[in-house]
Every structure is written in structure tokens, then in C-alpha cells.
A and B are shown apart, each in its own frame.
Chain A
Amino acid sequence: MVWPRRLRVPPSLLAAAWALPLETAPPPRGSSAEAARAGRHVAAGGGAAAGARRRGGRRGAAAPCRCGSAARAAPSARPRPRGRRRRRRRGRGRSGSRSGACRCYPGTASRPGCTACAWWASTWSWARPWRYARRRRGPPRPRNRALPLAPALRSGGGSAAVRRGNVIVQNHQVRRRRRRGGGGGAGARRGGCHRGAPGLPAPAAAAARRSPPPSPRRLRFPTSSVDCPGIWALTALEGCSHSPNKRSSASFRSVIYPPHSKLTDKEKTNICYLSFPDSNSGCLGDTQFCFRFRRSSGRKVSLCCFLDQLDRDLPVYLKKDPAYYYGYVYFRQVRDKSLKRGYFQKSLVLISKLPYVHLFRTVLKQIAPEFFEKSEAFLEAVCSDVDRWPPPIPGEILHLPIMGIIMKLRIPTYRDKPGTTQIVQNMHQADAQISMALPTVHEVDLFRCFCPVFFHIQMIWELVLLGEPLVVMAPSPSESSETVLALVSCISPLKYCSDFRPYFTIHDSEFKEYTTRTQAPPSVILGVTNPFFAKTLQHWPHIIRIGDIKLPGEVPKQVKVKKLKNLKTLDSKPGVYTSYKTYLNKDEEIIKQLQKGVQQKRPTEAQSVILRRYFLELTESFIIPLERYVASLMPLQKCISPWKSPPQLRQFSQEDFMKSLEKAGPQLTSGLKGDWIGLYRHFLKSPNFDGWFRSRQKEMTQKLEALHLEALCNENLVFWSQKHTEVETVDLVLKLKNKLLQAGREHLPVKTDTLKKLQMHIDDIILALPDDLQDILLKTGTT
């Protein structure tokens, strides 16, 4: 397979680093066009085709793949082939011709693999064609209600165990009943009901919204970037020497993109559920939210060395977490009488490793509305746009073309002074039509999110800092996700180290793990919308309940912390439900300042900046004593001897640390009084401390290694080797080689000439040895 000239990597990999869009939709049942399209093969989880094949697939997408055409001819008569077999067949059909208009994308089914973020779109529906096909003989079941929004449960290639219609239906009902724990059964069987449907208790009705057995009708991963290099991922580098910023592309080519891997069935199931509102959904109109889900284990570790390098320069709270992906959703639900369902309901989803909430939100806002109205070619075009994006290098101003507009933005680096945002200069107004500047890539509107609970921000800060289990109950996914992100970001520049789910549903694969009552609640932050959680998570110690986020101007009056036992399943009032007692005394000043801002109609952006600065100062006051103490664990410079292994860090001792607080505690930088010691004690047990300490420890160990290397370089090693036996010399050479390797692998913070010098030393020593040994040593790599 020959790659297009400017590509050297399978194109699907190119798409990787930025995002994969994913369209999910429950299309109207029965519409012939839809049926035909559904017939076109689209299932999830195609075979593990190499990128090469994939390319063939895309271009060759020209011809509908075999299963597609067959299905189109007789969508009803044909039972769905079982996952495996079907996949294989598809694989064969992959190498299509290159002509014609691309309609179906055979090889692309497994594209999402570029899980780092290739684009993939898919449409699911719980209206399963095969099921209806079986029923065709009888009159179709009337279903006039529009709403039930049941995202696909199983991706197309999903488990083969539930294939036949009856079985599935039963299965679903059984499962539903079990999940819902009683109440929902009746409603569930009825198909879609609006919330508060007559005769149903509200929670049941809400749960019932999910009811129609979810199953994806089609799940298609298009294509994107086949002939043009990849999604922000890093396209421009990827080969196009014509990238706007003219970077030499060659050096990054093969490393930028993670080798593509597929989304597993489990991941797909999760995405399916997470890309639609969970329960109620008065979500009429357009809703944007984001979610985060766990990668399936057992995936190959991607080789994204280049991304790792980028990662190094990111501030700690933006570093990507290899175990999780983010999904960014644009969901549209509008009345549409022309559709059988009566409603238009579709989501466009981007999956990315990158936590750049604001950026992807903006992107979706740009593309989704037009996408919903236009053809699939639109998505293809968007993908090719994103393919052309330069790599997300921290600290640089990036120009990202998207749908005829250039987005200008800057990804922060760890060197930025915390609390300052380097705002990308706004363009001249006349340019507004052709470019826009994003002030931030990741920040959410803190004040708007905390508005409903703003009397308790300090308590919330403590809860997040200590990694307490926390659940946010909100009326819609957009509010829950924003609030959770705001919570997590309120302890920046510290990183929130446990799991957090901006939007969590009862169908999540971690549902059991997180809601079990047999163990203490896990240290996670969940954002939920389904009222069912009020029951499931009753035993959780801290619950934040949020009503509709209102416009600023209506701020709640002084509100007391509510008692947990007052939390009712339904219509509990917004507020913080907990029995937690704060360690620190309340800071009235910030509250007053914010309240004043509200009265003076200060814009929310300004309020957010105030709030963010407040959190930043608080967090820094808290962390500085720890930083100071940990720095004192570093051994002295004189302990570093080239002839000994690098010295160890001293142990972290809680007693010593507490003693150090007396003299240099947070009282130096913060006026807040309270039980700081207690807060520290609690914090030292929390996952956030663990994560923070580990990263510090790693940094310091690396620093020590680097210092040790430099010390080695400054020794006269050849002289030393002459005075020692051959065995010792060989040992030294091997050790030195190992050091060099390690320095390269771990990106030790050493000067480049140090490494060169060390290499020279090694060569010199080897040259001084007898010839036979020289040969062996030159050949031997290192272990």
C-alpha cells in the first residue's frame, strides 16, 4: 500500500491526537432512507485492520461494502451475522476501488482506534432494524411518543449473546427492572414516557425514558483524514510542510500519533449512553456537555512519545491521564413532525485524550449545528480540517482552521505563572468573520457553576482537596459536567488525582463499582442527572444538588449546609448536603466581594477571575509549606559522588512536617484561621497528596540522577579505569551505557553536552581496552 505522498503514517493515526467526533442518533423508525442507511454496514468494532487497509477502505469506501449492499437489498430478510463473522467479511471487503463517491466506509469501522482521538461518527438507535424486520408482518407497534431517548446499549458489534429479538427484549426488561430497583418496571415496558407521565411516579417515569431497549442501529466510524493528515492531532507537523507555521515535519512524523487502537465494545457502550441525556431531559434545543470514561484495560500502550513530550511541558492539571478519555457532546433535540418519532435527536461527540474543554466546546459549537443540517460530507470535511491542525504544543500560539474560520489559541505550559492567562490577542473586529481567539482552552466559568452553592465554596474546596467522595446532582448533563469540571479545577495548580466523571449514568460500566454499599464510597466526584442516584447514592457523605443554573443576578441568600437525612429522592432543594465540618474558618470576605459583584452586575467572567484567584491563593497557601518541607528532603550536593550511586531522598515524615508548620505554616501567606494541622493530617491520607508527592518524588529523583551524571562527566574516567582491573572497567562501561539510555528514556533534565561528554568518556575507555574486548563492548548494547 502506498501512502499519499505527504503521509508516512497510516492516516488513521494522523487523526489521532485531537479528537474523534462521533455522531449518535436515534433515527426515525421505518423511514426508508434511514433503513437503507442503516443497512449500510456500520457496526462497531471492526477487525484490527492495519492502518494501511484502512486507507484503502476509505478511498474505496466508494463502493458500499458487501454487507452494506446486501443489507440494502434485503434489510429485513437477512439476520444480522454474528459479530465475528461479519467483521471478517468486512475486512475482506475493505480493499475497495478508489472511484466514485464515498458513501460507506468499510474499513473505517475500527478506526476509532486512534483512540487518542480519531474522528469517528456513528449513529445509534434503539430502533433496531432487525427487530422491526421480524415484526414486519404484523402491524408495527404504535409509538407516537417522541422522547424516549435511549442511546444505544450495545454497539453493533457487541456481544453476540443477545442477538435474537425476543431474547433481547426480555433481557432488557429484566435488566431494567433490576437496575431501577422496583419503581420503574411499569413505565419501562410502556416505551417512552415523558417525565411525569400520568400514572407513573416521577422517578419511574424518568427512568422510563431510557426504556426502549437500546441498541445501536448503526455505528459508523468515518473516515476523516484519509488523504490529509491528522486531527489536531498534529497534522500540520505530520507531513504537510505547508503547515501554517512551517515547522519541519519530518522529525515528528512517525511518533506523533499513537498507533491506533480500537475502542472496545465496553467503551462503545459507555460512549453510547454517555452521549445522551440520561433521564428526564427537558433538554430541548441544543445541549453541550462533556463526559469522561475509563479506557478498557488491556489496551496496548500507545507509543505516543511525541505526545509524551508535549505532556511534559503541560501544567500538571492538564496532563493527560492515559487511563481516561474525554467525550465532548453536542446534543440536539427539537420537534420535527416530519420524523416518525416526532423529534429530532442527535448527538455529535468528540472523543479525545485532551482535557481542553473550552476548545472542543467551541469546535462543536462551530460544526455541530451545520452538521445536523448538512450531509456527511460535512463531517468528512471537518475531519480533514482538523487533520491539518498543528500539534498541540504548549506555549505556542496555534492557528486552527475549522469550517472556514481560524481559531487562535494558546495551550498553557507549566512555566506560566499560575493565575495568569496569557490571552491571545483578539483580532481586529473586521476579522471576526474569519478568525476568533479563544482566551482559554480548558477553563470553565467557575462562578456560574458555583453560583448555586457559593456560600459553601470554601467547604467545597476542602472536600475536593481531601478527595472526599462527592456527587453533583444536576438537572441536565451540561450543568453536571460543568460543575464537576469546576470542582476539579478549583484546587489547581494541584492536580485532582482521583477519578471524576462530569456526567455519569446508571449504565456506566463502573456503576456497580462506584455505588456499592459494601465498601465505603470511593474517592471520586460524580456528576449525575438521573434522580435514581438520589437513592443509590444515599449513603454518600457529601452531595451537592444544583437546580437550574440561573443567570447571575439571582444569587441564593445565606443558606445553611443541609443535613443528609433531609435529602429526598425528588425535588430536594439545591444546596450542599453533608455533615462535614470544615477545618478552616469561613472567609466572609470573598463571599462579600462576590455578593457585591452580583449587586453591581459585574460580568461573570470577572467574578470567575476573582473566584479563581481566591482558590489559587488558598491552594498555594496550603501547598507551599509542603513544597518547602519536601524540598528539604533533597540530599545535599556534597552527598553526590560519582563513585557511588546517587543518594536517596530522605523519607517523608509526618511528624517532622508538622513541626515545620509551627514556624513556616500557611499562616505566613493566608489570613485564614482554623485547624490547618487537622486539614494537613487529613490531606496526607488523601489520594491527592499521594499523587502530588509521587510526582514531586519523581522530579527530585530525576534531578538527583541528572546531578550524578554531571558529576560523572567531570571525572577523569579513563584515568580511573587504568588504575582498576579489567573487570571493573567493563562493569563501569556497562553501567555508564545504562545511565545514558536511562537519561534518554526518561528525559532527565541534563544539559545536552553532558550526555555527549559521557558518550565520549565511554568511547575513550573502550579504546583503551584490548582489541577483543573493544569489539565486544562496542557491539553490546545495554541491558
Chain B
Amino acid sequence: MNVLAPVRRDRVVADLPQCFRKEAALHARPAFHPKVASACQEQRTGTVGFKISKIIVVGDLSVGKTCLINRFCKDTFDKNYKATIGVDFEMERFEVLGVPFSLQLWDTAGQERFKCIASTYYRGAQAIVIVFDVNDVASLDHTRQWLADALKENDPSNVILFLVGSKKDLSTPAQYSLMEKDALKVAQEMQAEYWAVSSLTGENVRDFFFRVAALTFESSVLAELERSGARKIGDTVRISGPESDLYLTAPRKKPKCCQ
């Protein structure tokens, strides 16, 4: 019983979107993992199609987390600051390589007073987007703390990290290039992929979210394939074991008797 609306046409991902900086990228492959591509072609993606991936967006107060999401999901930008209470929630549906795929975007509050409850929202995330303001060095420093908090609730080996500098339109090119150096260093340290965006102009926002969608999709298909692969291996082991031989002979005998 699938009553979800069809995927919007501008949410179709056919090719792997490229990374922003090669220095700090999860991987710089030009296309989807061949296994993933073939699996999608042969429609062996299992349950990924019904799957939802949870993305959490964290970062300091008023760095532009909500604006970033609003720019992408609603294509709007509100200059007035309105603090998020607890969490905002958005659902975006994509079609990656012909497979429907949903992203749950949880936009958390940056305010200190919500920190104690934020952990509730962190659990089960597949990707963590840490946002900082490219005009504010302190917000970049705090990203480490945000990451540490978010990783407490998640398995560090299974999450994809993104480090996003926002409000790019507000900084001059010279300032920006200085900041980028620092940011790249931080990103490499935390093994995150670095992006710089502007929610006001919309620069890189769409590319960024497509990249997020594509990479989370890729990793969940790979995980799915690995899981199903593992299951097969387990099966063969049982069959080739000495006990399973007994089982195999037993049913063979029966038909003989019957005949």
C-alpha cells in the first residue's frame, strides 16, 4: 500500500554528482560503484527502494541549518531568524538510478538548551551534516564537538559525514579561501566531505543534497548487497557441512521407497 506521491522530476539522480573539493571527499570516483550500478540495473536492490535514510543536520546556533534545508526542500529563503525548537523535519523523495529512495532530513536546534534532548534525534542516522558559518571561525571549531555528540548515538563506521560551510555569499573571496584551508583540514581530520554553500543565492545547495542522496543511496545498496551476500555464504556452509549431507540423503531415500 504505497500512497506516497510520485517522485518529482527534479529529484531524479541519474549520475553520481561530483564532489566539491577533491582534497576532502568521501571518494572521488566519477561514477557509482559498479556493483551498485549493476544491482540497480538488474533491480537487485532489495528493500532499498522502500527504504528511508535518516540525515541529521547539526551545527552551531544560527549558522543556517534551517535555511539550508528550506532552500533545498522548498526553494525559499527567509532572512528573519527564527530559532528551531527541538527539531524540524522534512522528507525528500529521490529517484536514484531508477530506484525510489527517501531522505528524512532532521534539522536539529542549535540552541544550547536543546542540547540535552538532541541525542534523541541523533539515533539511527545514516549521514550527519555538520554545518558551520564560513564567516565565523568559532562555529568551525565547534563542529568537532557537534560531531562527537552525534557519533555518541550512532555507529561511527556506518555514517557518512559532511562538513558544510554556509553563508558563502557573505564572505569575500580572500576571506573565504583562508577559511577553506582551515575547513579542509578539519574535514580531512574527521573524514568528512567538505562543501561550501550559500542558502541565500542557492549556490551549491542542490548539488550538495544530490551528493548526499547519491552517497547514502550507494552506501545503503552496498550494505544491502553485502548482507544478502553474507546470507548466501552462510547457506552454502550449512549445505556443505557433514550434517546437511545427512539431510540431503534422507529426502533422497524417501522417493526411492515410494517408487
Top 10 closest pairs, chain A to chain B, by CB: A381-B86, A433-B124, A404-B121, A384-B85, A244-B91, A401-B89, A434-B124, A378-B117, A428-B47, A434-B54
Partner-binding segment picked from B70-78, B173-181, B187-195, B208-216:
B70-78
Partner-binding segment picked from B29-37, B108-116, B133-141:
B108-116
> In the bound complex, what is the Cα–Cα distance between A245 and B6 (angstroms)?
11
Residue of B nearest to A388 (CB): B89
Which residues on A sit within 8 Å (CB–CB) of B47?
428
Which residues on B sit within 8 Å (CB–CB) of A422?
1
> In the bound complex, what is the Cα–Cα distance between A404 and B70 (angstroms)?
19
Interface string of B92-113 (1 = CB under 8 A from A): 0000000000001010010101
Residue of A nearest to B82 (CB): A227
Instruction: Given the known inter-chain contacts A242-B90, A397-B3, A425-B1, please indicate yes or no for A404 contacting B85, CB distance below 8 A.
Output: no
Interface string of A72-91 (1 = CB under 8 A from B): 00000000000000000000
Residue of B nearest to A244 (CB): B91
> In the bound complex, what is the Cα–Cα distance between A431 and B109 (angstroms)?
23
| Contact yes or no, B117 A245, CB < 8 A | no
CB distance from A656 to the nearest CB of B (A): 44
| Contact yes or no, B113 A375, CB < 8 A | yes
Residue of B nearest to A236 (CB): B89
Q: Is the C-beta of A278 less than 8 angstroms from some C-beta in chain B?
A: no
Majority SS at the chain B contact face: mixed
Interface residues of B, CB < 8 Å — how many?
36
| Contact yes or no, A431 B3, CB < 8 A | no
Interface string of A376-411 (1 = CB under 8 A from B): 011011111100100000001101010110100000
| Contact yes or no, A433 B123, CB < 8 A | yes
Residue of A nearest to B50 (CB): A428
Interface residues of A, CB < 8 Å — how many?
40
Instruction: Given the known inter-chain contacts A399-B91, A404-B106, A427-B50, please indicate yes or no for A370 contacting B117, CB distance below 8 A.
Output: yes
Which residues on A sit within 8 Å (CB–CB) of B111?
101
Partner of A404, one of B1, B52, B113, B124: B124
Q: Is the C-beta of A335 less than 8 angstroms from some C-beta in chain B?
A: no
> In the bound complex, what is the Cα–Cα distance between A103 and B210 (angstroms)?
40
Q: Is the C-beta of B157 less than 8 angstroms from some C-beta in chain A?
A: no
Interface string of B34-66 (1 = CB under 8 A from A): 000000000000010011101000000000000
Q: Is the C-beta of B88 less than 8 angstroms from some C-beta in chain A?
A: yes
Partner of B87, one of A375, A404, A435: A404
Residue of B nearest to A397 (CB): B3
Which residues on A sit within 8 Å (CB–CB) of B1?
397, 422, 424-425
Q: Is the C-beta of A137 less than 8 angstroms from some C-beta in chain B?
A: no
| Contact yes or no, B91 A375, CB < 8 A | no
CB distance from B257 to the nearest CB of A (A): 33
| Contact yes or no, B113 A101, CB < 8 A | yes
Q: Is the C-beta of B5 less than 8 angstroms from some C-beta in chain A?
A: yes
Residue of A nearest to B106 (CB): A404
Residue of A nearest to B220 (CB): A430
CB distance from A54 to the nearest CB of B (A): 15
Q: Is the C-beta of B122 less than 8 angstroms from some C-beta in chain A?
A: yes
Interface string of A416-447 (1 = CB under 8 A from B): 00000010110110110111000000000000
Which residues on B sit within 8 Å (CB–CB) of A4?
82
Partner of B5, one of A5, A228, A245, A383: A245
| Contact yes or no, B86 A382, CB < 8 A | yes
Q: Is the C-beta of A241 less than 8 angstroms from some C-beta in chain B?
A: yes
Known: A5-B78, A370-B120, A388-B88. 20 other contacts (CB 8 A): A242-B70, A242-B74, A246-B5, A381-B87, A381-B109, A381-B117, A382-B86, A397-B1, A399-B91, A401-B87, A401-B89, A403-B121, A404-B87, A404-B120, A422-B1, A427-B50, A428-B47, A428-B51, A431-B52, A433-B123
Can you list 8 A-B pairs with a CB-CB distance of less than 8 A?
A246-B5, A374-B117, A377-B113, A396-B3, A401-B87, A401-B89, A428-B50, A430-B51
Residue of A nearest to B89 (CB): A401
Residue of A nearest to B112 (CB): A101
> In the bound complex, what is the Cα–Cα distance between A422 and B3 (angstroms)?
13
Which residues on B sit within 8 Å (CB–CB) of A241?
74
